[in-house]
Copies of this chain bind each other. A is one copy, B any other.
Amino acid sequence: MAKTIFEKHSQGRFGYTLPKLDVQGDINSCIPEKFQRKGELPLPEVSELDVMRHFIELSHLNHFIEKGFYPLGSCTMKYNPKINETLVRNAGFMDVHPMQPQCTVQGALELLYELQNDLAEISGMADVTLQPVAGAQGEFTGLKVIHAYHKFNGNHHKRKIILPDSAHGTNPASCTLAGFEVIELKSNEKGKVDIEELKSLISDDVAGFMLTNPNTLGLFESQVEKIAELIHSVDGLMYMDGANLNALLGIVQPGKIGFDVMHFNLHKTFSTPHGGGGPGSGPVGVREDLVKFLPVPMVRKNDDGTFYLDCSHSDTSIGKVHSHYGNFSQNVRAWIYIKMLGAEGLREVSRNAIINANYIMHKLNKYFHVQYDEHCMHEFVADGSWQKKLYDDPDKQIKTLDIAKRLLDKGFHAPTVYFPLIIHEAMMIEPTETESKETLDMFINAMIEIASEAKENPELLKDAPFTTPVRRLDDVRAVKVLDVKFQDYMKIKEED
């Protein structure tokens, strides 16, 4: 493995230059001694070349979209256009402070205003806040809006959110954070919301329902209207987790099919790069009567065409979820993407994403078990159950994890595995629209190869990966021998 940067330290080396101090003074006359740090900081000292070599070496250890196929279900790993990266680096964006007078940031406000509107149109919602910086924060924001709505109506008892057992982990976690109690609904035999079961859970203390649509199995919840009717019947609100919006662009407006609140993942559907874990952007759209609960500020337009930050709904607003206006530069990227695609382009996105997913599903369902074998939307869930059954000996038994690791050897990223929880040995496969048929075919062939390796050469799976920068890693050791910083590592090494 690559050395850490700390092992490249050499006392006195440096990788920066600074102007000479051009005023008189010294630190001791500015800061009383008691406030001064004792001793030198132990940061590494390296040259610019050391730094470049180090991080380039690290970079070469990653899989990434521009290296190869990344069928990570639920994550919509589409191509991130280069033009976004170029344009977002304009000094007129990068070097703008969030608390500048509004007359000096009219461009930023114009852009945010347009993005609010475009996302509202795409989702069929009345308005959209751009403040949440991730999907989970969007969920939290949306749930807070639901909370605020009920409180506003004096319904303090409405503290339960129902969500399917196929929901993403952030859904229940966000409910807790927003002060709700979570009721998990078992999915029916088709992997969808079980209406009868749902009926049995409906009561006056239900605050809302959280649904991912298409759901995490890649299936459109056809009964969504029925669900909405049930929830609305007790004045509950329908929340849509929009992580899977890539299936619906220009095809369905969530706001028009029963949802009252939803979040977007701009880092999925709208092509902003994921950066190895973020920053993303998780705007939230709501129906008309909920707009007053959205975080402050919203961007509004004056009659004279100028824009302003509007806090006029402060008393009803849930407040703020971010210090400023969210991940502005991600929002710029999403704006560019939407402007380049337009209505027709966005519909093409979903059309192609859906065709690509169905194509893979169709080609693979003879080799891998697919529980819910109907046309999928932009992704589908296969599983490793057929492979698991091949060997009884638990040491030899093939798990989805083994299939995933073997895929790495073949140059592909693995699908999302073991999610949704309701499918055993799940493999959630999402190709996105930016991949070509050739690439899909190569992936399909690799999967078929793996299916036959599982039968003929199971060690190739059990011991995979072989060709990656490191072999399979010991997760248990990572927890048991905790080594979360370089000093821990040094200590462990000493103790060994």
Would you give the shortest CB distance from A213 to chain B, in whole angstroms? Answer: 28
Question: Restricting to A72-94, which residues have a CB under 8 Å from any CB of B?
Answer: 79, 81-82
Residue A189 interfacial (CB < 8 Å): no
CA distance A57 to B66 in the complex (A): 9
Task: List B contacts of A438 (CB < 8 A).
Answer: 8, 10
A48 interface neighbour in B8, B57, B79, Cβ under 8 Å: B79
Are B10 and A47 in touch, CB under 8 angstroms?
Answer: no
Say whether A67 faces chain B, with CB atoms less than 8 Å apart: yes
Q: Is A340 among interface residues, defined by CB-CB distance under 8 A?
A: yes
Also in contact, A436 and B340, with CB within 8 A (given A67-B57, A79-B49)? no
Among candidates B48, B66, B79, residue contacting A82 with C-beta atoms closer than 8 Å: B48
The answer, yes or no, to whether A53 is at the interface (CB within 8 Å) is: yes
For the complex, count residues of A whose C-beta is within 8 A of B. Answer: 25
Pairwise interchain contact B13-A436, C-beta atoms closer than 8 A? yes
* Residues of chain B with a CB closer than 8 A to A47's CB: 79, 434, 436
Residue of B nearest to A49 (CB): B79
Considering only residues 51-77 of chain A, those with a C-beta below 8 Å from chain B are: 52-53, 56-57, 60, 65-68
Across-interface contacts of A66 in B (CB, < 8 A):
49, 52-53, 56
A385 to chain B, nearest CB (A): 33
Least CB separation from A437: chain B residue:
B10
A11 within 8 A of B: no
A261 to B57, CA, bound (A): 43
| Copy count, this protein chain | 2
**Which B residues touch A13, using CB under 8 A?**
436
| In the complex, A17 has a CB within 8 A of chain B | yes
Whether, in the assembled complex, A194 has its beta carbon less than 8 Å from a beta carbon of chain B, the answer is no
Q: How far is the CB of A120 from chain B (nearest CB, A)?
A: 25
Residue of B nearest to A60 (CB): B60
A438→B49 CA distance, assembly (Å): 13
Does A229 count as interface, using CB distance less than 8 angstroms?
A: no
A44 CB → nearest B CB, Å: 13
| Docked-complex contact A82 and B436, CB < 8 angstroms | no
Cα–Cα distance between A65 and B52 once the two chains are bound (Å):
10
> In angstroms, how far is the closest chain B Cβ from the Cβ of A195?
41
CB of A184 closer than 8 Å to a CB of B:
no
Does A50 count as interface, using CB distance less than 8 angstroms?
yes
- With A and B bound together, what is the CA distance between A434 and B13 in angstroms? 12
- Alpha-carbon distance between A438 and B46 when the two chains are bound, in angstroms: 12
**Chain B residue nearest to A435 in the complex (CB):** B49
Contact A340 B17 (CB under 8 A): yes
Chain B residue with minimal CB distance to A79?
B49
Contact with B along A186-213 (1 / 0, CB 8 A): 0000000000000000000000000000
Which residues of chain A in 291-345 are interfacial with respect to chain B, using CB atoms and an 8 Å cutoff? 340
Give the chain B neighbours of A8 by CB distance below 8 A: 438
Contact of A56 among B49, B67, B434, B436 (CB under 8 A): B67
Taken together as a complex, chains A and B put the C-alpha atoms of A72 and B66 apart, in Å, by: 31
Interface flags for A146-185 (1: CB within 8 Å of B; 0: not) read 0000000000000000000000000000000000000000
Q: A10-B438, A49-B66, A56-B67 are in contact. List 15 more A-B contacts (CB 8 A).
A: A8-B438, A13-B436, A17-B340, A47-B436, A48-B79, A48-B81, A48-B82, A49-B65, A49-B434, A50-B436, A52-B66, A53-B66, A53-B67, A57-B67, A60-B60
**Would you give 16 A-B contacts (Cβ < 8 Å), ordered by A?**
A8-B438, A10-B438, A17-B340, A47-B79, A47-B436, A48-B81, A49-B65, A49-B79, A49-B434, A49-B435, A50-B436, A52-B66, A52-B79, A52-B82, A53-B66, A60-B60
A-B pairs, top 6 by smallest CB distance, nearest first, are: A49-B79, A52-B66, A56-B66, A49-B434, A53-B66, A56-B67
